[in-house]
């Protein structure tokens, strides 16, 4: 959730505010290649994080994994990425500028992660629990816990369909309202200097 959602949302918002994607649009590179490269880079980052966390568990904490469950775990993580990356792209539209990106996105990410049981299991009550069960964090947590369950891997299909539904929502929103450039170009990226030169002229 941190890499696929928060990093994508914050990274896109900051790049949009500073006009980086606007510059890419002036090159022969197609928008699909630009966005695809960004998402592939995010996926590679997620893989690196997974390898580092696994190494810490193996070397520092003495974890003995059941390698037969690896396909279930990787499938759950890949499905989580497919769901959360489009949602991150959609969430990147919320911050009005680069300064607001981190607090606004983390304001969405951390409550969602805590409520989903990613850190601790909280007593939520029936009403709040029913709402949380519909958010993408909860089905992803269920799939990950199912892959690591002591009784053996369990694949929860309702969680799969819910994640795919959220993926579709994020994709539609991102494609419909995605902007390559911020409405206001920030200082220090050309506009201020041109304005000053114009004033002197």
Measure the CA–CA gap between 109 and 163, rounded to whole angstroms.
16
Q: How many CB atoms lie within 10 A of CB 20?
A: 16
- Give the number of residues written for the chain: 201
Measure the CA–CA gap between 85 and 170, rounded to whole angstroms.
8
Q: Residues 80-99: what's their mean pLDDT? A: 93
Range of weakest confidence among 49-63, 83-97, 122-136, 175-189:
175-189
Q: What is the pTM of this model?
A: 0.81
Q: b/e string for 133-146 if b means 16 or more Cβ within 10 A? A: beebbbbbbbbbeb
pLDDT at 20: 83
Measure the CA–CA gap between 191 and 116, rounded to whole angstroms.
43
Q: Residues 131-148: what's their mean pLDDT? A: 88
Distances (CA, A) of 129 to 132, 135, 166: 5, 10, 18
Token reading at 197: 């030169």
Could you tell me which of 13, 16, 8 has the C-alpha nearest to residue 42? 8
* pLDDT single digits (tens) 143-185: 888 888 777 777 889 999 999 999 999 999 998 988 877 765 5
């Amino acid at each position: 959730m941190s890499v696929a959602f928060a990093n994508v949302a914050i990274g896109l918002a900051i790049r949009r505010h500073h006009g980086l994607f606007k510059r890419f649009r002036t090159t022969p590179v197609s928008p699909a290649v630009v966005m695809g490269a960004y998402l592939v880079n995010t996926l590679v980052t997620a893989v690196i994080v997974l390898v580092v966390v696994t190494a810490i568990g193996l070397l520092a904490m003495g974890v003995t994994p059941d390698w037969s469950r690896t396909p279930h775990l990787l499938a759950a993580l890949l499905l989580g990425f497919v769901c959360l990356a489009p949602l991150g792209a959609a969430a990147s539209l919320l911050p009005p500028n680069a300064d607001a990106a981190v607090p606004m996105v983390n304001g969405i990410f951390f409550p969602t992660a805590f409520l989903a049981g990613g850190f601790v299991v909280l007593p939520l009550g029936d009403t709040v629990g029913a709402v949380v069960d519909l958010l993408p964090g909860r089905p992803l947590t269920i799939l990950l816990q199912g892959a690591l369950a002591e009784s053996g891997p369990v694949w929860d299909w309702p969680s799969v369909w819910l994640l795919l539904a959220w993926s579709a929502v994020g994709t539609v929103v991102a494609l419909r309202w995605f902007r390559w450039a911020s409405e206001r170009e920030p200082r220090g990226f050309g506009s201020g200097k041109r304005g000053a030169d114009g004033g002197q002229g």
